Structure 1
Amino acid sequence: MNVSIILASYDSGHYHGGCGQGPDALVAGGLAEALRLAGHDIAVHDIGRVGDEQGREIATGFAVCNAVSGEVRIARDRGRFPIVLAGNCLTSAGAVAGEGADAIIWADQHGDLNTPDTSTSGFLDGMALAAVLGLCWRPMAAQIPGFKAIDPARCVLVNARDLDTAEKPLLETLPVIRTECPGWDGAAQRLRSTGAERIHLHLDLDVHDPEDLQANRYASPGGPAPEQLRRAVCGMAGSLPIFGLTISAYDPAFDAKGDVPPLVGELLVELLATVEKR
Protein backbone atom coordinates (compact mmCIF):
# COMPACT_ATOMS: atom_id res chain seq x y z
CA MET A 1 0.00 0.00 0.00
CA ASN A 2 1.11 3.55 -0.71
CA VAL A 3 1.13 5.44 2.60
CA SER A 4 1.76 9.06 3.49
CA ILE A 5 2.86 9.76 7.06
CA ILE A 6 2.10 13.38 7.92
CA LEU A 7 3.80 14.96 10.93
CA ALA A 8 1.98 17.69 12.87
CA SER A 9 4.36 18.34 15.75
CA TYR A 10 2.34 20.71 17.91
CA ASP A 11 1.01 20.60 21.46
CA SER A 12 -1.34 23.42 22.50
CA GLY A 13 0.24 25.89 20.09
CA HIS A 14 3.81 24.90 20.98
CA TYR A 15 6.00 23.47 18.22
CA HIS A 16 7.85 20.32 19.34
CA GLY A 17 6.76 20.79 22.96
CA GLY A 18 5.22 18.06 25.11
CA CYS A 19 3.17 15.74 22.91
CA GLY A 20 4.44 17.74 19.94
CA GLN A 21 7.62 15.69 20.28
CA GLY A 22 5.65 12.51 19.68
CA PRO A 23 5.50 12.46 15.87
CA ASP A 24 9.28 12.68 15.45
CA ALA A 25 9.80 10.17 18.28
CA LEU A 26 7.50 7.64 16.58
CA VAL A 27 9.39 7.95 13.30
CA ALA A 28 12.78 7.87 15.03
CA GLY A 29 11.58 4.79 16.90
CA GLY A 30 11.28 2.90 13.63
CA LEU A 31 7.64 3.37 12.62
CA ALA A 32 8.27 4.21 8.97
CA GLU A 33 10.87 1.46 8.67
CA ALA A 34 8.50 -1.12 10.19
CA LEU A 35 5.89 -0.25 7.57
CA ARG A 36 8.47 -0.42 4.77
CA LEU A 37 9.58 -3.86 5.96
CA ALA A 38 5.92 -4.91 5.79
CA GLY A 39 5.96 -4.03 2.08
CA HIS A 40 4.42 -0.55 2.07
CA ASP A 41 5.65 2.43 0.10
CA ILE A 42 6.15 5.16 2.72
CA ALA A 43 6.43 8.90 2.15
CA VAL A 44 6.93 11.20 5.15
CA HIS A 45 5.76 14.81 5.08
CA ASP A 46 6.17 17.37 7.87
CA ILE A 47 3.85 20.38 7.96
CA GLY A 48 6.61 22.29 9.76
CA ARG A 49 5.88 25.56 11.53
CA VAL A 50 2.46 27.11 11.04
CA GLY A 51 0.33 29.67 12.85
CA ASP A 52 1.56 32.89 14.40
CA GLU A 53 4.80 33.67 16.19
CA GLN A 54 3.02 34.07 19.53
CA GLY A 55 2.03 30.40 19.45
CA ARG A 56 -1.53 31.17 20.50
CA GLU A 57 -3.26 27.87 21.14
CA ILE A 58 -6.53 28.46 19.28
CA ALA A 59 -5.07 30.23 16.25
CA THR A 60 -2.21 27.76 15.93
CA GLY A 61 -4.39 24.72 16.60
CA PHE A 62 -6.65 25.55 13.68
CA ALA A 63 -3.70 26.56 11.48
CA VAL A 64 -2.36 23.04 12.05
CA CYS A 65 -5.74 21.66 10.98
CA ASN A 66 -5.61 23.75 7.79
CA ALA A 67 -2.14 22.48 6.91
CA VAL A 68 -3.03 18.87 7.67
CA SER A 69 -6.19 19.10 5.56
CA GLY A 70 -4.08 20.09 2.56
CA GLU A 71 -1.53 17.32 3.06
CA VAL A 72 -4.22 14.68 3.55
CA ARG A 73 -6.07 15.81 0.44
CA ILE A 74 -2.86 15.59 -1.60
CA ALA A 75 -2.23 12.10 -0.26
CA ARG A 76 -5.74 10.89 -1.10
CA ASP A 77 -5.56 12.47 -4.58
CA ARG A 78 -2.34 10.53 -5.20
CA GLY A 79 -3.89 7.26 -4.07
CA ARG A 80 -2.03 7.17 -0.78
CA PHE A 81 -3.42 6.24 2.63
CA PRO A 82 -2.89 9.14 5.07
CA ILE A 83 -1.58 8.57 8.59
CA VAL A 84 -1.35 11.77 10.61
CA LEU A 85 0.97 11.76 13.62
CA ALA A 86 -0.14 14.64 15.82
CA GLY A 87 0.47 16.13 19.22
CA ASN A 88 -3.11 17.31 19.63
CA CYS A 89 -6.42 15.55 19.11
CA LEU A 90 -7.92 18.62 17.44
CA THR A 91 -5.68 17.87 14.45
CA SER A 92 -8.16 15.15 13.46
CA ALA A 93 -10.49 17.92 12.29
CA GLY A 94 -7.96 18.66 9.56
CA ALA A 95 -7.66 15.00 8.61
CA VAL A 96 -11.44 14.63 8.50
CA ALA A 97 -11.61 17.65 6.18
CA GLY A 98 -8.87 16.41 3.87
CA GLU A 99 -10.47 12.98 3.56
CA GLY A 100 -14.01 14.26 3.17
CA ALA A 101 -14.86 11.86 6.00
CA ASP A 102 -18.52 11.32 6.86
CA ALA A 103 -17.96 9.30 10.05
CA ILE A 104 -15.39 8.90 12.79
CA ILE A 105 -14.16 6.29 15.25
CA TRP A 106 -12.65 8.09 18.25
CA ALA A 107 -10.57 5.95 20.65
CA ASP A 108 -9.61 8.06 23.66
CA GLN A 109 -9.76 7.82 27.43
CA HIS A 110 -11.38 11.28 27.36
CA GLY A 111 -14.62 12.37 25.78
CA ASP A 112 -13.13 15.55 24.26
CA LEU A 113 -16.71 16.84 24.18
CA ASN A 114 -16.40 20.02 26.20
CA THR A 115 -17.21 23.38 24.63
CA PRO A 116 -16.14 26.89 25.61
CA ASP A 117 -19.39 27.07 27.58
CA THR A 118 -18.75 23.89 29.58
CA SER A 119 -14.97 23.67 29.90
CA THR A 120 -13.59 24.50 33.33
CA SER A 121 -9.96 24.31 32.15
CA GLY A 122 -10.11 26.08 28.78
CA PHE A 123 -8.05 23.22 27.31
CA LEU A 124 -8.72 23.33 23.57
CA ASP A 125 -7.97 19.65 23.06
CA GLY A 126 -10.73 18.80 25.51
CA MET A 127 -13.09 20.21 22.87
CA ALA A 128 -11.59 18.32 19.91
CA LEU A 129 -14.36 15.80 19.24
CA ALA A 130 -16.99 18.46 19.94
CA ALA A 131 -15.43 20.55 17.17
CA VAL A 132 -15.41 17.59 14.75
CA LEU A 133 -19.11 17.01 15.49
CA GLY A 134 -19.97 20.68 14.95
CA LEU A 135 -20.83 21.38 18.58
CA CYS A 136 -18.38 24.27 19.00
CA TRP A 137 -15.77 26.41 17.23
CA ARG A 138 -17.92 26.38 14.11
CA PRO A 139 -16.56 29.60 12.53
CA MET A 140 -12.96 28.40 13.00
CA ALA A 141 -13.71 24.89 11.75
CA ALA A 142 -15.49 26.31 8.70
CA GLN A 143 -12.16 27.82 7.61
CA ILE A 144 -10.52 24.38 7.37
CA PRO A 145 -10.59 23.53 3.64
CA GLY A 146 -13.18 20.82 3.02
CA PHE A 147 -14.42 20.59 6.60
CA LYS A 148 -17.95 19.32 7.19
CA ALA A 149 -19.10 18.48 10.69
CA ILE A 150 -19.79 14.80 11.30
CA ASP A 151 -23.23 13.71 12.44
CA PRO A 152 -22.91 12.46 16.05
CA ALA A 153 -24.89 9.36 15.01
CA ARG A 154 -21.87 8.47 12.85
CA CYS A 155 -19.39 8.68 15.72
CA VAL A 156 -18.09 5.68 17.66
CA LEU A 157 -16.47 6.63 20.98
CA VAL A 158 -14.16 3.88 22.20
CA ASN A 159 -13.19 3.38 25.87
CA ALA A 160 -13.90 6.94 27.02
CA ARG A 161 -13.62 6.46 30.78
CA ASP A 162 -12.42 9.84 32.10
CA LEU A 163 -15.37 12.14 31.43
CA ASP A 164 -15.83 15.67 32.74
CA THR A 165 -18.99 16.62 34.59
CA ALA A 166 -20.64 18.33 31.61
CA GLU A 167 -19.74 15.54 29.17
CA LYS A 168 -21.76 12.86 30.95
CA PRO A 169 -25.23 14.40 30.46
CA LEU A 170 -24.29 15.48 26.94
CA LEU A 171 -23.50 11.90 25.98
CA GLU A 172 -26.92 10.87 27.28
CA THR A 173 -28.55 13.17 24.72
CA LEU A 174 -26.25 12.62 21.73
CA PRO A 175 -26.67 9.53 19.49
CA VAL A 176 -22.94 8.79 19.76
CA ILE A 177 -22.19 5.06 19.65
CA ARG A 178 -20.23 4.17 22.79
CA THR A 179 -18.28 0.96 23.16
CA GLU A 180 -15.50 -0.78 25.03
CA CYS A 181 -12.97 -2.71 22.97
CA PRO A 182 -14.65 -6.12 23.46
CA GLY A 183 -17.88 -4.67 22.02
CA TRP A 184 -16.33 -3.48 18.78
CA ASP A 185 -18.44 -5.74 16.54
CA GLY A 186 -21.75 -4.34 17.71
CA ALA A 187 -20.44 -0.79 17.39
CA ALA A 188 -19.20 -1.50 13.86
CA GLN A 189 -22.60 -2.89 12.88
CA ARG A 190 -24.37 0.20 14.20
CA LEU A 191 -22.00 2.53 12.35
CA ARG A 192 -22.33 0.49 9.15
CA SER A 193 -26.12 0.80 9.38
CA THR A 194 -25.82 4.60 9.09
CA GLY A 195 -24.49 4.27 5.54
CA ALA A 196 -21.10 5.79 6.37
CA GLU A 197 -18.74 5.56 3.40
CA ARG A 198 -15.56 7.41 4.45
CA ILE A 199 -14.54 6.81 8.05
CA HIS A 200 -11.68 8.48 9.88
CA LEU A 201 -10.00 6.55 12.70
CA HIS A 202 -8.63 8.63 15.58
CA LEU A 203 -6.38 6.98 18.18
CA ASP A 204 -5.32 8.98 21.23
CA LEU A 205 -2.64 6.77 22.70
CA ASP A 206 -3.73 7.52 26.26
CA VAL A 207 -6.74 5.29 25.60
CA HIS A 208 -4.46 2.45 26.77
CA ASP A 209 -4.32 1.24 30.34
CA PRO A 210 -1.18 2.99 31.68
CA GLU A 211 -0.27 -0.22 33.50
CA ASP A 212 0.39 -1.68 30.05
CA LEU A 213 1.37 1.43 28.06
CA GLN A 214 1.72 5.01 29.29
CA ALA A 215 1.72 7.52 26.47
CA ASN A 216 1.47 10.85 28.29
CA ARG A 217 0.83 12.59 31.62
CA TYR A 218 -2.95 12.46 31.24
CA ALA A 219 -3.26 8.68 31.46
CA SER A 220 -5.68 7.37 34.08
CA PRO A 221 -6.34 3.78 35.26
CA GLY A 222 -8.35 1.39 33.16
CA GLY A 223 -8.61 1.03 29.42
CA PRO A 224 -7.45 -1.66 27.04
CA ALA A 225 -4.10 -3.33 26.76
CA PRO A 226 -2.34 -2.77 23.40
CA GLU A 227 -3.41 -6.14 22.01
CA GLN A 228 -7.04 -5.48 22.97
CA LEU A 229 -7.06 -2.12 21.19
CA ARG A 230 -5.33 -3.67 18.18
CA ARG A 231 -7.97 -6.39 17.89
CA ALA A 232 -10.77 -3.85 18.17
CA VAL A 233 -9.54 -1.30 15.62
CA CYS A 234 -8.41 -3.96 13.17
CA GLY A 235 -11.74 -5.73 13.57
CA MET A 236 -13.60 -2.52 12.74
CA ALA A 237 -11.24 -1.80 9.85
CA GLY A 238 -12.04 -5.21 8.42
CA SER A 239 -15.73 -4.41 8.11
CA LEU A 240 -15.79 -0.63 7.63
CA PRO A 241 -14.32 1.74 5.02
CA ILE A 242 -11.42 3.43 6.84
CA PHE A 243 -10.05 6.32 4.76
CA GLY A 244 -7.37 7.66 7.08
CA LEU A 245 -5.92 7.64 10.54
CA THR A 246 -4.69 10.05 13.20
CA ILE A 247 -2.45 8.98 16.07
CA SER A 248 -2.15 11.62 18.76
CA ALA A 249 -0.94 12.56 22.22
CA TYR A 250 2.33 10.64 22.58
CA ASP A 251 4.80 12.39 24.88
CA PRO A 252 8.10 10.48 24.83
CA ALA A 253 9.05 12.06 28.18
CA PHE A 254 6.61 9.59 29.78
CA ASP A 255 7.97 6.58 27.87
CA ALA A 256 11.44 6.15 29.32
CA LYS A 257 11.88 2.64 27.90
CA GLY A 258 10.65 3.56 24.41
CA ASP A 259 7.81 1.04 24.53
CA VAL A 260 5.33 3.06 22.48
CA PRO A 261 6.88 3.27 18.97
CA PRO A 262 7.24 -0.50 18.38
CA LEU A 263 3.72 -1.16 19.65
CA VAL A 264 2.33 1.55 17.36
CA GLY A 265 4.29 -0.06 14.54
CA GLU A 266 2.73 -3.46 15.26
CA LEU A 267 -0.73 -1.95 15.33
CA LEU A 268 -0.24 -0.13 12.02
CA VAL A 269 1.25 -3.13 10.24
CA GLU A 270 -1.82 -5.19 11.15
CA LEU A 271 -4.24 -2.33 10.50
CA LEU A 272 -2.89 -1.57 7.03
CA ALA A 273 -2.91 -5.26 6.11
CA THR A 274 -6.57 -5.34 7.15
CA VAL A 275 -7.47 -2.19 5.20
CA GLU A 276 -5.65 -3.52 2.15
CA LYS A 277 -7.71 -6.71 2.16
CA ARG A 278 -11.10 -4.93 2.04
Structure 2
Amino acid sequence: MKPEKIALIGVPLDLGAGRRGVDMGPSAMRYTALRRRIEDLGYPIVDLGNLVTPMVETSAPPAPGECLRYLEPIAEVCATLAATVEASIADGFLPLILGGDHSLSLGSASGSARGCAPGLIWIDAHADFNTAETTLSGNIHGMPLAALTGRGHPLLTGLAGRTPAIQPGHVALVGVRDLDPLEREALLHASIHVFTMHDIDRRGMAAVIEAAVAIAQQGTGGFHVSFDLDVIDPREAPGVGTPVAGGISRREAHLALEIIAHAGGMRSLDLVEVNPILDERNATAALAVDLALSALGKRIL
Protein backbone atom coordinates (compact mmCIF):
# COMPACT_ATOMS: atom_id res chain seq x y z
CA MET A 1 0.00 0.00 0.00
CA LYS A 2 3.02 2.32 0.11
CA PRO A 3 2.72 5.01 -2.59
CA GLU A 4 5.15 4.69 -5.48
CA LYS A 5 5.49 8.33 -6.54
CA ILE A 6 4.49 11.75 -5.27
CA ALA A 7 2.88 14.78 -6.93
CA LEU A 8 3.32 18.15 -5.22
CA ILE A 9 0.47 20.62 -5.70
CA GLY A 10 0.62 24.10 -4.23
CA VAL A 11 -2.59 25.98 -3.47
CA PRO A 12 -1.79 29.55 -2.33
CA LEU A 13 -5.36 30.26 -1.29
CA ASP A 14 -6.21 32.65 1.53
CA LEU A 15 -9.75 33.76 0.64
CA GLY A 16 -11.23 31.28 3.11
CA ALA A 17 -9.36 32.58 6.14
CA GLY A 18 -9.82 35.59 8.36
CA ARG A 19 -6.11 36.52 8.43
CA ARG A 20 -3.77 37.08 5.52
CA GLY A 21 -0.56 35.15 4.93
CA VAL A 22 -1.40 31.50 4.31
CA ASP A 23 -1.08 32.10 0.57
CA MET A 24 2.69 32.03 1.19
CA GLY A 25 2.52 28.61 2.86
CA PRO A 26 3.41 26.55 -0.24
CA SER A 27 6.53 28.63 -0.86
CA ALA A 28 7.56 28.39 2.79
CA MET A 29 7.31 24.59 2.69
CA ARG A 30 9.15 24.28 -0.62
CA TYR A 31 11.88 26.52 0.82
CA THR A 32 12.78 23.78 3.31
CA ALA A 33 14.03 21.50 0.50
CA LEU A 34 10.81 19.51 0.48
CA ARG A 35 11.34 17.99 -2.94
CA ARG A 36 14.90 16.83 -2.29
CA ARG A 37 13.97 15.37 1.07
CA ILE A 38 11.11 13.36 -0.46
CA GLU A 39 13.48 12.13 -3.17
CA ASP A 40 15.89 11.07 -0.40
CA LEU A 41 13.15 8.72 0.84
CA GLY A 42 13.32 6.98 -2.55
CA TYR A 43 10.24 8.45 -4.18
CA PRO A 44 10.08 9.78 -7.72
CA ILE A 45 8.40 13.17 -7.45
CA VAL A 46 6.88 15.71 -9.79
CA ASP A 47 6.12 19.26 -8.70
CA LEU A 48 3.02 20.51 -10.51
CA GLY A 49 3.62 24.04 -9.23
CA ASN A 50 0.92 26.23 -7.76
CA LEU A 51 -2.67 26.46 -8.89
CA VAL A 52 -3.71 29.92 -10.01
CA THR A 53 -5.68 31.45 -7.16
CA PRO A 54 -7.31 34.88 -6.93
CA MET A 55 -6.03 37.45 -4.47
CA VAL A 56 -8.11 39.46 -2.04
CA GLU A 57 -6.87 42.61 -3.75
CA THR A 58 -8.35 41.54 -7.12
CA SER A 59 -11.56 39.97 -5.81
CA ALA A 60 -14.86 41.70 -5.20
CA PRO A 61 -15.14 42.32 -1.44
CA PRO A 62 -17.85 40.39 0.39
CA ALA A 63 -20.89 42.29 1.59
CA PRO A 64 -20.96 43.22 5.28
CA GLY A 65 -22.17 40.23 7.29
CA GLU A 66 -21.76 37.87 4.33
CA CYS A 67 -22.15 34.27 5.56
CA LEU A 68 -20.16 32.69 2.73
CA ARG A 69 -17.26 35.03 2.06
CA TYR A 70 -15.67 34.62 -1.40
CA LEU A 71 -17.88 31.60 -2.13
CA GLU A 72 -17.57 31.55 -5.92
CA PRO A 73 -13.80 32.04 -6.29
CA ILE A 74 -13.13 29.47 -3.56
CA ALA A 75 -15.44 26.97 -5.26
CA GLU A 76 -13.65 27.55 -8.58
CA VAL A 77 -10.21 26.94 -7.07
CA CYS A 78 -11.45 23.82 -5.29
CA ALA A 79 -13.00 22.47 -8.50
CA THR A 80 -9.67 22.89 -10.27
CA LEU A 81 -7.85 21.25 -7.37
CA ALA A 82 -10.30 18.32 -7.34
CA ALA A 83 -9.63 17.69 -11.04
CA THR A 84 -5.86 17.92 -10.49
CA VAL A 85 -5.94 15.49 -7.57
CA GLU A 86 -8.19 13.08 -9.48
CA ALA A 87 -5.83 13.08 -12.47
CA SER A 88 -2.75 12.65 -10.28
CA ILE A 89 -4.20 9.61 -8.53
CA ALA A 90 -5.26 8.15 -11.89
CA ASP A 91 -1.65 8.51 -13.06
CA GLY A 92 -0.39 6.56 -10.04
CA PHE A 93 0.73 9.47 -7.87
CA LEU A 94 -0.03 10.26 -4.25
CA PRO A 95 -0.93 13.97 -4.28
CA LEU A 96 0.70 16.06 -1.54
CA ILE A 97 -1.19 19.35 -1.41
CA LEU A 98 0.46 22.39 0.17
CA GLY A 99 -1.79 25.13 1.56
CA GLY A 100 -3.14 27.63 1.79
CA ASP A 101 -6.18 27.84 4.03
CA HIS A 102 -8.29 24.84 4.97
CA SER A 103 -11.07 25.62 2.52
CA LEU A 104 -8.84 24.04 -0.14
CA SER A 105 -9.50 20.61 1.40
CA LEU A 106 -12.91 20.74 -0.24
CA GLY A 107 -10.99 20.26 -3.48
CA SER A 108 -8.29 17.86 -2.33
CA ALA A 109 -10.63 15.47 -0.52
CA SER A 110 -13.30 15.69 -3.23
CA GLY A 111 -10.75 14.90 -5.92
CA SER A 112 -9.59 11.90 -3.91
CA ALA A 113 -13.23 10.81 -3.65
CA ARG A 114 -13.92 10.82 -7.38
CA GLY A 115 -14.30 7.25 -8.58
CA CYS A 116 -13.84 5.95 -5.04
CA ALA A 117 -15.60 5.82 -1.68
CA PRO A 118 -12.78 6.93 0.61
CA GLY A 119 -12.45 7.55 4.29
CA LEU A 120 -11.14 10.76 5.78
CA ILE A 121 -8.83 11.54 8.71
CA TRP A 122 -9.16 15.22 9.65
CA ILE A 123 -6.48 16.34 12.11
CA ASP A 124 -7.32 19.82 13.38
CA ALA A 125 -7.88 21.98 16.43
CA HIS A 126 -11.20 22.98 14.87
CA ALA A 127 -14.03 20.87 13.49
CA ASP A 128 -14.56 23.00 10.35
CA PHE A 129 -18.18 21.87 10.58
CA ASN A 130 -19.95 25.19 10.17
CA THR A 131 -22.43 26.19 7.49
CA ALA A 132 -23.87 29.55 6.48
CA GLU A 133 -26.48 29.06 9.21
CA THR A 134 -24.01 28.41 12.04
CA THR A 135 -20.85 30.35 11.18
CA LEU A 136 -19.79 33.26 13.35
CA SER A 137 -17.33 34.66 10.79
CA GLY A 138 -18.48 33.70 7.30
CA ASN A 139 -14.99 32.31 6.61
CA ILE A 140 -15.22 29.18 4.48
CA HIS A 141 -12.10 27.61 6.00
CA GLY A 142 -14.42 26.82 8.93
CA MET A 143 -16.81 24.83 6.71
CA PRO A 144 -15.02 22.19 4.57
CA LEU A 145 -15.70 19.15 6.74
CA ALA A 146 -19.40 19.99 6.85
CA ALA A 147 -19.49 20.39 3.07
CA LEU A 148 -17.57 17.17 2.40
CA THR A 149 -20.13 15.27 4.47
CA GLY A 150 -23.10 16.87 2.68
CA ARG A 151 -23.96 19.97 4.72
CA GLY A 152 -23.77 23.41 3.16
CA HIS A 153 -24.03 25.33 -0.10
CA PRO A 154 -24.31 23.22 -3.30
CA LEU A 155 -21.20 24.88 -4.78
CA LEU A 156 -19.25 23.36 -1.90
CA THR A 157 -20.97 20.01 -1.36
CA GLY A 158 -20.97 18.66 -4.93
CA LEU A 159 -17.30 18.84 -5.94
CA ALA A 160 -16.85 15.06 -5.91
CA GLY A 161 -19.72 14.58 -8.34
CA ARG A 162 -21.97 13.30 -5.60
CA THR A 163 -23.26 14.46 -2.24
CA PRO A 164 -21.88 13.70 0.23
CA ALA A 165 -18.37 13.35 -1.11
CA ILE A 166 -17.49 11.23 1.94
CA GLN A 167 -19.88 9.37 4.18
CA PRO A 168 -19.84 10.81 7.73
CA GLY A 169 -19.38 7.36 9.26
CA HIS A 170 -16.05 7.05 7.43
CA VAL A 171 -14.68 10.28 8.92
CA ALA A 172 -12.43 10.58 11.98
CA LEU A 173 -11.83 14.06 13.41
CA VAL A 174 -8.71 14.11 15.61
CA GLY A 175 -7.39 16.76 18.02
CA VAL A 176 -10.39 19.09 18.10
CA ARG A 177 -10.54 21.53 21.02
CA ASP A 178 -12.19 24.74 19.78
CA LEU A 179 -15.83 24.63 18.64
CA ASP A 180 -18.45 27.28 17.91
CA PRO A 181 -21.68 26.69 19.90
CA LEU A 182 -23.93 25.71 16.98
CA GLU A 183 -21.12 23.78 15.35
CA ARG A 184 -20.81 21.73 18.51
CA GLU A 185 -24.52 20.93 18.44
CA ALA A 186 -24.29 19.84 14.81
CA LEU A 187 -21.38 17.53 15.58
CA LEU A 188 -23.25 15.92 18.45
CA HIS A 189 -25.95 14.86 15.99
CA ALA A 190 -23.63 13.80 13.17
CA SER A 191 -22.19 10.35 12.51
CA ILE A 192 -18.62 11.64 12.42
CA HIS A 193 -16.23 9.99 14.88
CA VAL A 194 -14.75 12.77 17.00
CA PHE A 195 -11.57 12.36 19.06
CA THR A 196 -11.03 15.49 21.12
CA MET A 197 -7.93 16.50 23.03
CA HIS A 198 -9.62 14.92 26.05
CA ASP A 199 -9.57 11.57 24.24
CA ILE A 200 -5.92 12.00 23.30
CA ASP A 201 -5.02 12.90 26.89
CA ARG A 202 -6.87 9.90 28.32
CA ARG A 203 -6.13 7.25 25.70
CA GLY A 204 -2.86 8.42 24.15
CA MET A 205 -2.22 9.40 20.55
CA ALA A 206 -1.34 5.89 19.41
CA ALA A 207 -4.70 4.42 20.46
CA VAL A 208 -6.65 7.37 19.05
CA ILE A 209 -4.96 7.40 15.65
CA GLU A 210 -5.18 3.63 15.32
CA ALA A 211 -8.93 3.92 15.92
CA ALA A 212 -9.11 6.76 13.37
CA VAL A 213 -7.31 4.68 10.75
CA ALA A 214 -9.65 1.74 11.35
CA ILE A 215 -12.66 4.04 10.83
CA ALA A 216 -11.22 5.54 7.64
CA GLN A 217 -10.28 2.13 6.20
CA GLN A 218 -13.43 0.18 7.05
CA GLY A 219 -15.35 -0.45 3.84
CA THR A 220 -13.52 2.28 1.88
CA GLY A 221 -11.08 2.49 -1.00
CA GLY A 222 -8.37 4.14 1.06
CA PHE A 223 -8.48 7.53 2.75
CA HIS A 224 -7.51 11.17 2.49
CA VAL A 225 -5.59 12.85 5.33
CA SER A 226 -6.07 16.55 6.01
CA PHE A 227 -3.59 18.00 8.49
CA ASP A 228 -4.10 21.52 9.83
CA LEU A 229 -0.94 22.77 11.54
CA ASP A 230 -3.02 24.50 14.22
CA VAL A 231 -3.69 21.10 15.79
CA ILE A 232 -0.17 21.39 17.22
CA ASP A 233 0.32 23.51 20.31
CA PRO A 234 1.25 27.08 19.25
CA ARG A 235 4.41 26.93 21.34
CA GLU A 236 5.73 24.49 18.71
CA ALA A 237 3.78 25.69 15.66
CA PRO A 238 3.40 29.47 16.00
CA GLY A 239 2.87 30.21 12.31
CA VAL A 240 -0.86 29.54 12.02
CA GLY A 241 -3.77 31.94 11.68
CA THR A 242 -6.04 30.51 14.37
CA PRO A 243 -3.82 29.19 17.18
CA VAL A 244 -5.43 27.43 20.13
CA ALA A 245 -3.51 26.63 23.31
CA GLY A 246 -3.38 23.08 24.61
CA GLY A 247 -2.62 21.26 21.35
CA ILE A 248 -0.75 18.10 20.56
CA SER A 249 3.02 18.01 20.72
CA ARG A 250 5.45 17.77 17.82
CA ARG A 251 6.19 14.20 18.81
CA GLU A 252 2.48 13.24 18.98
CA ALA A 253 2.01 14.68 15.49
CA HIS A 254 4.89 12.61 14.15
CA LEU A 255 3.56 9.50 15.86
CA ALA A 256 0.12 10.00 14.31
CA LEU A 257 1.53 10.27 10.80
CA GLU A 258 3.99 7.42 11.33
CA ILE A 259 1.08 5.16 12.29
CA ILE A 260 -0.88 6.32 9.25
CA ALA A 261 2.12 5.58 7.01
CA HIS A 262 2.56 2.12 8.52
CA ALA A 263 -1.15 1.31 8.06
CA GLY A 264 -1.09 1.98 4.31
CA GLY A 265 -4.11 3.14 2.36
CA MET A 266 -3.49 6.89 2.28
CA ARG A 267 -4.60 8.16 -1.14
CA SER A 268 -3.74 11.84 -0.69
CA LEU A 269 -2.52 14.29 1.94
CA ASP A 270 -2.90 18.00 2.46
CA LEU A 271 -0.98 20.25 4.84
CA VAL A 272 -2.76 23.54 5.47
CA GLU A 273 -2.82 26.83 7.37
CA VAL A 274 0.94 27.49 7.45
CA ASN A 275 1.20 31.28 7.80
CA PRO A 276 4.77 32.56 7.33
CA ILE A 277 3.80 36.10 8.38
CA LEU A 278 3.05 34.80 11.87
CA ASP A 279 5.85 32.24 11.98
CA GLU A 280 9.22 32.33 13.73
CA ARG A 281 12.17 31.69 11.36
CA ASN A 282 9.98 29.41 9.19
CA ALA A 283 9.68 26.92 12.07
CA THR A 284 6.08 25.92 11.33
CA ALA A 285 6.72 25.35 7.64
CA ALA A 286 9.78 23.26 8.50
CA LEU A 287 7.71 21.23 10.94
CA ALA A 288 5.03 20.71 8.27
CA VAL A 289 7.65 19.27 5.94
CA ASP A 290 9.03 17.00 8.65
CA LEU A 291 5.51 15.73 9.22
CA ALA A 292 4.96 15.12 5.50
CA LEU A 293 8.06 12.93 5.51
CA SER A 294 6.67 10.93 8.46
CA ALA A 295 3.41 10.46 6.55
CA LEU A 296 5.44 9.12 3.61
CA GLY A 297 7.22 6.56 5.74
CA LYS A 298 10.30 8.21 7.21
CA ARG A 299 11.35 6.52 10.43
CA ILE A 300 13.94 7.29 13.10
CA LEU A 301 15.51 3.86 12.57
Same fold, judged at TM 0.5 (above): yes
**Identical amino acids, percent of aligned pairs:** 25
Q: Aligned match of 1:47 in 45, 51, 70?
A: 51
Report the equivalent of 2:40.
37
Q: Give the Cα separation in 1 of the matches to 2:183 and 2:156.
A: 22
Matched, 1:236 2:236: no
Q: Aligned match of 2:172 in 146, 156, 161?
A: 156
Report the equivalent of 2:239.
215
Q: What's the CA shift string for 1:189-246, capped at 9, x where partnerless?
A: 3443x41222110001111011122231310101111220121132134225110011
Q: Give the Cα separation in 2 of the matches to 1:47 and 1:64.
A: 8
- Cα offset for 1:273? 2.1
After superposing the two structures, state which structure 1 stretch, 70-79 or 104-113, moved more. Answer: 70-79
Q: 1:81 is matched by which residue type in structure 2?
A: L
- Cα offset for 1:151? 1.3
Unmatched segments (≥5 aa) in structure 2: 62-69
Q: 2:286 is matched by which residue type in structure 1?
A: P
Give TM-score scaled by structure 2 length. 0.83
User: Contact (CA 8 Å) 1:90, 1:129: kept in 2 or not?
Assistant: no
Q: Give the Cα separation in 1 of the matches to 2:255 and 2:152.
A: 32
User: Contact (CA 8 Å) 2:128, 2:142: kept in 1 or not?
Assistant: yes
Q: 1:186 is matched by which residue type in structure 2?
A: A
Unmatched segments (≥5 aa) in structure 1: none
Q: Give the Cα separation in 2 of the matches to 1:58 and 1:141.
A: 12
User: Contact (CA 8 Å) 1:213, 1:259: kept in 2 or not?
Assistant: yes
User: Contact (CA 8 Å) 1:69, 1:95: kept in 2 or not?
Assistant: yes
After superposing on structure 2, the runs of 4+ consecutive aligned residues of structure 1 that deviate more than 6 Å are none
User: Contact (CA 8 Å) 1:110, 1:161: kept in 2 or not?
Assistant: yes
Report the equivalent of 2:64.
none
Matched, 1:19 2:26: no
Matched, 1:270 2:294: yes
Do the aligned partners of residues 55 and 38 (structure 1) sit closer, same or farther apart at CA in structure 2, a change above 3 Å counting?
Answer: farther
Q: What's the CA shift string for 1:97-117, capped at 9, x where partnerless?
A: 222252211011011111101
Q: Give the Cα separation in 2 of the matches to 1:130 and 1:140.
A: 9
RMSD over equivalenced CA pairs, Å: 2.3
Aligned length: 271
Q: What's the CA shift string for 1:55-80, capped at 9, x where partnerless?
A: 56211111111111121122112111
Report the equivalent of 1:135.
151
Matched, 1:87 2:123: no
Do the aligned partners of residues 266 and 97 (structure 1) sit closer, same or farther apart at CA in structure 2, a change above 3 Å counting?
Answer: same
Q: Give the Cα separation in 2 of the matches to 1:258 and 1:42.
A: 23
- Cα offset for 1:51? 9.1
